[in-house]
Amino acid sequence: MTRVLIIGSGFVGRGIAREVERRGCEAVLASRSPLSGPDRWVCLDVTDPAACTRVLHDVRPDAVVAVHGPSDVTWCQQQPRLALKAHRDATVNLVRAAGTTRLLMISTDNVFDGVAEANDELTATSPANAYGRAKRAAEVALDQHPDATVLRVSLVYGPEEPRSDKRPNFAAYCVRDLGAGKIVNAPVDQWTTPVHVGDVAQVTFAALARAPRLLHVGGSERISRVAWAHRFADRLGASRTLVAAVPKDSGPYACRPTNSCLTSVLLPDLLKDWGLRIRGVDEGVVDTLRAWP
Ligand SMILES: NC(=O)c1ccc[n+]([C@@H]2O[C@H](COP(=O)([O-])OP(=O)(O)OC[C@H]3O[C@@H](n4cnc5c(N)ncnc54)[C@H](OP(=O)(O)O)[C@@H]3O)[C@@H](O)[C@H]2O)c1
């Protein structure tokens, strides 16, 4: 593999691009707004079928990763038709445009209702919200492609550049606000299996060469947002009193499943084959702080 087209040049897409380049391949990022910085970028609105065909023809990638937005679960809940267009209809476009080129889509734990604490690849889907329904519909659309993989990932975290159009990932929010002595609102009743962006990127790169059609990538630990925020407070030397334990329904996490958690019956063996491992929560906290800009 020499060239990977990454559709979506946000937090996760750029993390994957860094890994692709680190492994000696060329990453081409695609999105609607131009990027600053040295990354190779092409303009693409993935909801436009003709534009997808044109970009695939011009870039001639060996593999495509679909990791575009909208990523805001609350926004999707308010705009379900636009969410469906951006995820399902865009995937239909990519399946057509990609032909037989390998296609990998980053999906989500929100395809489950979150009642159970663990969801593996054999668990029946039951989307929790409009975002989960849109991503599930995209997964079904991807099924029409002969060489595709759905990579469902849990909450992705790590250092993230501040943006006016996006709330930072929960870890970045904790570091930024706890580090500044500000209160962080952390749900007591929402659990995740958070996974570091570097681990998602490494698994994605490995999966581009070979992977099952469906693979779950969650962190190794199930943790509530409030307990996770405490770990950040402890490492930062901040008081735990800065962490306000709130019910999830009181804030922007209302439409999230109670358990945004992924387990896998496939990942442990694949990680051994690939020589990779997924870092635990404490290691991820340390690494996030170490790489903080
Ligand atoms: N972050 C997570 O925890 C997580 C977990 C599970 C799955 N995912 C999946 O990964 C995706 C990306 O997450 P993220 O955190 O990296 O989001 P992000 O930082 O908001 O990045 C989204 C990217 O998609 C681009 N985009 C949006 N609409 C587009 C369109 N119509 N055509 C082309 N590009 C478009 C955006 O750029 P422009 O607006 O300039 O086009 C942006 O570069 C999510 O949507 C989700 O499906 C994320």
Which ligand 1 atom is nearest residue 166's CA? 20
The H-or-E segment that residue 232 falls in is helix 225-236
Q: Cα-flanking dihedrals φ and ψ of residue 223, to 5°?
A: -145, 145
Pocket lined around ligand 1, Cβ cut-off 6 Å: 7-13, 31-33, 44-47, 67-71, 86, 106, 108, 135, 153, 155-156, 166
d(CA 42, CA 225): 36
Task: Give, for ligand 1, the residue of 6, 7, 31 to mutate: max count of ligand atoms closer than 8 Å to Cβ.
Answer: 31
The whole-number pLDDT of residue 164 equals 78
Task: Give, for ligand 1, the residue of 7, 11, 12, 142 to mutate: max count of ligand atoms closer than 8 Å to Cβ.
Answer: 12
Per-residue tens of pLDDT for the chain, all 293 residues: 799 999 999 999 999 999 999 999 999 999 999 988 877 999 999 999 999 999 999 999 999 999 999 999 999 999 999 999 999 999 999 999 999 999 999 999 999 999 999 999 999 999 989 999 999 999 999 999 999 999 999 999 999 988 878 889 999 999 999 999 999 999 999 999 999 999 999 999 999 999 999 999 999 999 999 999 999 999 999 999 999 999 999 988 899 999 999 999 999 999 999 999 999 999 999 999 999 88
Long-range contacts of residues 68-73, Cβ cutoff 8 Å, at least 24 apart: 68/7, 68/8, 68/10, 68/13, 68/31, 69/8, 69/10, 70/131, 71/10, 71/11, 71/12, 71/166, 72/166, 72/167, 73/110, 73/129, 73/131, 73/255, 73/256
| Cβ neighbour number for residue 57 with a 10 Å cutoff | 10
The whole-number pLDDT of residue 256 equals 94
Q: Is 256 left (phi over 0), alpha (psi -120 to 50) or beta?
A: beta
Which ligand 1 atom is nearest residue 165's CA? 20
Question: 274 near 207, Cβ under 8 Å?
Answer: no
Instruction: Give me the residue spans of the domains in the chain.
Output: 3-290
Per-residue b or e along 79-114, where b marks 16 or more CB atoms closer than 10 Å to that residue's CB: beeebbebbbbbbbbbbebbeebbbbbbbbbbbbbb
d(CA 221, CA 263): 10
Beta strand 195-196 pairing with 102-108? unpaired
d(CA 123, CA 116): 10
CATH of domain 3-290: 3.40.50.720
According to DSSP, residue 3 is labeled E
